Amino acid sequence: MLKTSYVDVMDVLSEKLYASAAQIVDTASKSIPANTFCIALSDEAETKVLNTINRSAVILQEGLVIDHTDSYCHLVTENGPEPLIIDNNLTHPLTRDMDVTPFVGGCSFMGVTIKNADGQIFGSLCAFDDQFYAYQAHDVEMLQSLAAFFENMLELDQTYRLWRAAEEERQKTMEEKTNLLAILSHEIRTPMNAILNMGEMLQATPLTDTQSRYLSLIHSSGTSLITILNQILDYSKLDSGKMEVLREPFSLRGCLFDVTQLFRVEAGRKNVELHEIVPFSVPDLWIGDENKIRQIMINLLSNALKFTEAGEIRIEAYVSSNREASCEPLSEVKLKHSGEQTSITGSDGAYLNFTVTDTGSGIAPDKQSQLFQAFTQLHTANYVNRYGGTGLGLSICKQLVELMGGKLRLESSSSSGTCFAFNLPMALPEAAWGH
C-alpha cells in the first residue's frame, strides 16, 4: 500500500540550497509546458518530495514521503543515467501497476537523475502533465541542464556542511582545551600560592645564608611557574575568543606607577633606573580596560628588565591624533563629544600611546620577523636557559592590544636598546578633560 507523510523541507536542505532548488523548478516550469515539476530526494528506504510547482491540477504536494520502490523517482534512478520518458503512465508497463499511479492520476512523465558531489544518486528532477504533453528533445536537454546545475549546488552545500562541521569541532576542541587549562591552572595555582606564602612566612624567621638562598630560589621558581600558567591560560582564552574587553574609569598615572612598583626591587638589584613619564597636559582619568593595559605593560617591562643589565627603562604615555604619529601637543587633539562621555576614536579623534624603551642588548634583525609569534624564543640559548619562559608574552600582548582596537609594534631595536610602542583608541570622561 502507498505510505505517505509530510516532513519539514528545511530539515532536508540548507536555506540557501532550498531557495536555489525552488528557482530551478520555477525555471523549468517556465521553459517546459508541463503541469507539475518536482525535485525529489531518494535513498534506499524512501523518496521525499522537496519542492513542487503545480500549474492547474495538483498532482504532487511538497513534503510528500513515499516508499522508494513505490515512487517514480525510483524508476528514474534505476533507469539512469538516461532520462526516463513515459507518454502515458496508465498504460506504460513500468507504471500502470504501481500503487502510486492512481494517486498521481493519468499523466505523461519525464525524469532525470541528480547526483551528489560523490557521484551517488541524490534523487531526481521530474515533470508531470495531466494533459499528456509529449516531451521534446529540447525539453529533455533543459531538464538535464537544470539537474547539472542542481548537482553543483549540492556540491557547494556539501562543502559548506563539511566546513561547518569542522568549525564546530574546532570550537568544541578549543572550549575543552580552555576548560582543561583553567582547571589545571587552578589546581596548580592553589598549592603553588600556598608554597609561596609559606616561603614568605619562613623568610620572616631567622635563617642561615644557605636557607635564605634556597627560599629565594623557591620563591622565584614558584612565581615563574604561576606567570607561565597565567600566560598559557590567557593565550588559550584569546585563541578561543573568550576574552572580553571592559570599559571602566581608571587612572593612567596610577596604572603606570603600580606597574613600575612591581619591578623596583629587581631593577634596584641590577642598578637599572625605572621611569614612568606622562606629560602634565595628558588627562589622568580614562575609560578602558585597565587590567589588560596593566598586563601588557607588565609583559613589556618584564622583558625589558630581563635583558637590560645596565642603564634605564622608560615607560611613557602620550596622546596623538592617529596610530602612527609621534607625540603631539594635547591642544591639537580634536575631541568628539557624545553624551556624558567624550569619544576620541576614529581618524579625526585621538589615541592613547605607550612606549617601553630600554638600554638592553636589542633583538637581532633576523629574529624580528618572528617577534609576535607564539612559543618563539628570540634570544640566545644562554638567555633562554637563564630566564626561562613560554615565548607567549609578546604574542599575548599583541592579541590584547588588537582586541582593544589598537596596534603593537617594535619601534626600534639595536645594540644600544629596544623600544616597543602600542596605541589604543580610548574614551575620555568629559570631567577629566575639564580638570
Please compute the mean of the pLDDT values over residues 131-143 and round it to a whole number: 89
> Minimal CA–CA distance to 151: which of 119, 121, 115?
115
Local structure of residue 348 (DSSP, 8 states): T
| pLDDT computed for residue 402 by the predictor | 87
C-alpha cell at 51: 519542492
pTM of the predicted model as reported, rounded to 2 decimal places: 0.48
Across the range 253-268, mean pLDDT stands at 88
The reported pLDDT for the residue numbered 383 is 47
The stretch 272-295 carries a mean pLDDT of: 89
Report strand pairing: 351-358 vs 311-320.
Answer: antiparallel
Domains and CATH numbers, the chain: 9-163 (3.30.450.40), 244-434 (3.30.565.10)
Which has more confidence, 377 or 132?
Answer: 132
Tens of pLDDT, residue by residue over 138-169, are: 888 888 888 877 777 767 666 767 777 777 77
What rounded mean pLDDT belongs to the chain? 75
What is the DSSP annotation of 267-309? Answer: HHHTTEEEEEE--TTS-SEEEE-HHHHHHHHHHHHHHHHHT--
Q: What are the CA-CA distances from residue 66 to residues 69, 149, 244 (Å)? A: 8, 25, 52
Summarised one tens digit per residue, pLDDT across range 294-335 is 888 888 998 888 888 889 999 999 887 655 534 333 333 333
- pLDDT at residue 9 greater than cutoff 50: no
390-417, pLDDT tens digit by residue?
A: 456 788 888 888 888 888 888 888 888 8
Please report the pLDDT score of residue 42 as a whole number: 78
